A = this chain, B = another copy of it.
Amino acid sequence: MPVQPRTPQGVLELLPPQQLAFQRMLDTIRRGFERFGFLPVETPVFELTDVLLTKSGGETEKQVYFVQSTGAMDQGHKPEMALRFDLTVPLARYVAQHEHQLNFPFRRYQIQRVYRGERAQKGRFREFYQCDIDVVGKDTLPLAYDAELPALIHGVFSELAFGPFTIYINNRRLLKGLLESLGIEKQTEVLHEVDRLGKIEKDEVIKKVEAFTPNAAKLIDLLSQPFEALKSFDGNDTFKQGLAELTQVYETTLALGVPTSALEVKLSIVRGLDYYTGTVYETFLTEHPKLGSICSGGRYDNLAEHYTKSKLPGVGISIGATRLFSQLLEMGIVGGAEKPADRATAQALVLHVEKPMALEYSRIAAELRAAGLNVEVYGGDDKLGKQFKYADRAGVPLAILYGSRERDAGHVKIKDMRVGDASMPNKEIEVPRGELVARVKQLLG
């Protein structure tokens, strides 16, 4: 009996048309990263266990996948390696390990899969792509870099064309100073509630915060008003520094070409409770707020304290590409492949019309490929009906037909397989053999 072919739970394996759409999405993200001069880094899928798990215990470790070869397992060794669960720990290890060979500020992008032993449930992936960028400074990192990231994200999501979106920015230092100025001590607890502003009713948030401070209403009112109004609040120096930072990041981002319609200061954004120390980012699709933030990040004080004594402050942002793609796929926003050209890499298919002409089909394909076109040759001598069915299912825009009749007349036929478009009905044209390449290019636009 054959083994049942199946994948493990919690992975996203795509059929070719969707894989092609996903690949194009990753390409767009990569092009956007390189537009801002970021450099590619790839790290091994596994890290040594003691390097990966510098903080022992905790939630993270419970989700780690350990790796061991057959030999090691037989001997009862503890696993020496584990799969990366994010791209931040590998970045810290990479920068610390190669510190003296890198150019600081170090701008890297990394597009790879990460692994988490999540409980199996819809929308939770055990293997998923992350697309990370970080700028890492040595000792210091100027604030100007905090503005580059939202500008880059604006470029990427504009090109991805998933619809209108807003990048929200805030500053953790401003929040810290504001809470201090209001005499609030339990910052972690209070910020945890602040983070829910906009998700639950304002009054409910105030009620929760009242458990920690008599200034709850005042705080939540301050954070609910427009950014401009907050500028008149008389806070401590930390608040003032955060305010100045946020103002500069906002203005620099606009100077980098981001329209005010896509950038907003949102004072309730917290983004995790201890890692980020300055600027923080979230991104929402205007028409699909329920997706949550599709691209988040922020500024941190020290990247790699577990691996080096060097101080490495940085700012980074991340797109969870697998989760985003699978949601957009479900909503029909990507991968629908309505246009044939969206689900094929080939732009033309040379059909097998007559067996004695077979070498001619190879020559025609070679000619079109030499002109930079993506071309398939149908390899079998099946009936034309079957060949057209293949072309149709494959989604190839053009079929090329060349039989002895066409050869004798010095012609070649091109059949346009794109249907359902009134401006371009499914049609067949006959062109001089010598004009084939030019006419195919013309038809493809």
A interface residue numbers (CB < 8 A to B): 2-8, 11, 13-16, 19-20, 23, 33-48, 50-51, 54, 61-71, 73, 79-81, 83, 92-94, 96-98, 101-103, 105, 107-108, 113, 115, 117, 127, 135, 140-145, 147-148, 151, 155, 251-252, 255-257, 304-309, 344-346, 349, 352, 358-360, 362-363, 365-366, 369-370, 373-377, 379-381, 390, 393-394, 396
Residues of B within 8 Å of A394, CB to CB, are 37, 103
User: Can you name 10 A-B pairs with beta carbons within 8 Å?
Assistant: A2-B309, A6-B93, A8-B48, A8-B80, A11-B44, A45-B83, A45-B127, A63-B69, A141-B379, A255-B360
CB distance from A152 to the nearest CB of B (A): 9
Query: Given A6-B97, A54-B3, A365-B256, is A70 in contact with B63 using a C-beta cutoff of 8 Å?
Result: yes
CB distance from A221 to the nearest CB of B (A): 32
Contact A39 B20 (CB under 8 A): yes
Contact A42 B14 (CB under 8 A): yes
- Report how far A61 CA is from B251 CA in the complex, Å: 59
Contact A349 B37 (CB under 8 A): yes
Contact A37 B396 (CB under 8 A): yes
Residues of B within 8 Å of A46, CB to CB, are 8, 65, 127
Contact A2 B306 (CB under 8 A): yes
- Report how far A155 CA is from B372 CA in the complex, Å: 11
Contact with A103, one of B23, B115, B135, B390 (Cβ below 8 angstroms): B390
Which of the listed residues A40, A45, A143 has the most CB atoms from chain B within 10 Å of its own CB? Answer: A40
Which of the listed residues A50, A257, A360 has the most CB atoms from chain B within 10 Å of its own CB? Answer: A257
Query: Given A15-B101, A103-B390, A144-B358, is A366 in contact with B255 using a C-beta cutoff of 8 Å?
Result: yes
Contact with A16, one of B39, B44, B64, B377 (Cβ below 8 angstroms): B39
Contact A374 B34 (CB under 8 A): yes
Closest chain B residue, CB of each to CB of A359: B255
Contact B51 A5 (CB under 8 A): yes
- Report how far A46 CA is from B68 CA in the complex, Å: 13
19 A-B pairs besides A5-B93, A257-B369 with CB distance below 8 A are A3-B51, A5-B94, A8-B44, A19-B39, A34-B345, A34-B374, A35-B374, A36-B369, A37-B349, A38-B345, A62-B70, A65-B69, A67-B67, A71-B117, A105-B379, A107-B376, A141-B379, A256-B363, A257-B370
Contact A345 B45 (CB under 8 A): no
CB distance from A237 to the nearest CB of B (A): 22
Closest chain B residue, CB of each to CB of A146: B379
Closest chain B residue, CB of each to CB of A12: B44
Residues of B within 8 Å of A376, CB to CB, are 36-37, 107
- Report how far A123 CA is from B90 CA in the complex, Å: 24
CB distance from A101 to the nearest CB of B (A): 6
CB distance from A416 to the nearest CB of B (A): 17
